[in-house]
Amino acid sequence: MSRDKLELIRTAGPSVLPSLLMCDFGDLKGEVARLEDAGTRVLHLDVMDGHFVPNMTYAMPIVKGIRRHTELPMDVHLMISDPMAYAKPMVDAGADLLTFHVEAVDDAAAVAAEIRDLGVGVGVALNPDTPLSALDGCLDQVDMVLAMSVNAGFGGQKFNPVALEKLASLKQSHPELLLEIDGGINLDTIAAARSAGCDLFVVGSAIFKHDDYAAAIAALDRAIAGATS
Ligand code: DX5
Ligand code: ZN
């Protein structure tokens, strides 16, 4: 739990981040080990509260449990209505990068500054219908922007290309920021995200529907490497 791990995340890019949303939760330890063996450099954890999004997943005990079994950096995506109420508990549980949704808060710059003070990386996420202007005033307080390419809440949804425009625009205006995309990323969509300037590619179903995670991740890596800029 420190900003040292943020450097590992930064240097991991461009990289595929498996989303622990569609894995076998009955064998979480095994799933994390398989992902690590498959070359994963950063894990993406989807936290949902049944309020900000109409779905629920898991919270600190699971994050802490995963931390006991891996040293991999943990990128924790908070899809919750009150990120500040859970930011410190999440950091204590082992999060290295905490991403909150701009739609969930009144003052994104203040939330980002508070998370930064906890000693971890800070990300801000925005849903497809949220304009980039919603991030005005907070971009100098964050390390990463997560452009959602589906509405937050469920895996297995169809990719919305509006995220690509946001990434390309941010790459121009804020080249120092880490850029992440999440939702509907697969072999058909990942190269376009790379071409738009994305560094971190969250992938759920396009990994977990395969038995061979290493092959699935390698194919996605090849597509990233083959993307034109
Ligand atoms: C959606 C989550 C994603 C999701 C991605 O709200 O934030 O991380 O698991 O899953 P796929 O890749 O299936 O869209
Ligand atoms: Zn996510």
Tens digits of per-residue pLDDT, 187-196?
Answer: 999 999 999 9
Taking only the tens place, the pLDDT of each residue in 45-104 is 999 999 999 999 999 999 999 999 999 999 999 999 999 999 999 999 999 999 999 999
Segments forming the whole domain that contains residue 189: 4-225
Res 178: pLDDT: 98
User: At 156, which CATH number?
Assistant: 3.20.20.70
Res 128: pLDDT: 98
Span 137-150, mean pLDDT? 98
User: Cβ distance 11 to 129 under 8 Å?
Assistant: no
User: Cβ distance 165 to 139 under 8 Å?
Assistant: no
φ and ψ of 174, to 5 deg = -140, 70
List the alpha helices (DSSP H) in 70-143: 83-93, 108-117
Res 32: pLDDT: 98
Catalytic site includes residue 199: no
Res 4: pLDDT: 85
Res 1: pLDDT: 45
User: Cβ distance 105 to 10 under 8 Å?
Assistant: no
User: Of residues 75, 96, 143, 182, which has the active-site annotation?
Assistant: 182
Q: With bands split at pLDDT 50, 70 and 90, how would you rate the model's confidence at 198?
A: very high
Using CA atoms of 49, 51, 54, 56 in order, give the dihedral in degrees to the nearest 10.
20
What's the domain count of the chain? 1
Residue 146 structure tokens = 């997560």
Q: Which of 154, 159, 186 has the most ligand 1 atoms within 8 A of CB, as the residue to mutate?
A: 154
195 lines ligand 1 (CB under 6 A): no
Q: With bands split at pLDDT 50, 70 and 90, how would you rate the model's confidence at 117?
A: very high
Res 2: pLDDT: 63
List the alpha helices (DSSP H) in the chain: 3-12, 28-37, 60-67, 83-93, 108-117, 162-173, 190-195, 205-208, 213-225
150 lines ligand 1 (CB under 6 A): yes
Res 205: pLDDT: 98
Average pLDDT of the chain is 97
For residue 74, what is the enclosing H or E element?
strand 74-79
Amino acid at 45: L
Q: Given a cut of 70, is residue 130 above it in pLDDT? A: yes
Q: Ligand 1: distance of its center to the CA of 184 in Å?
A: 7
- More confidently predicted of 65 and 1: 65
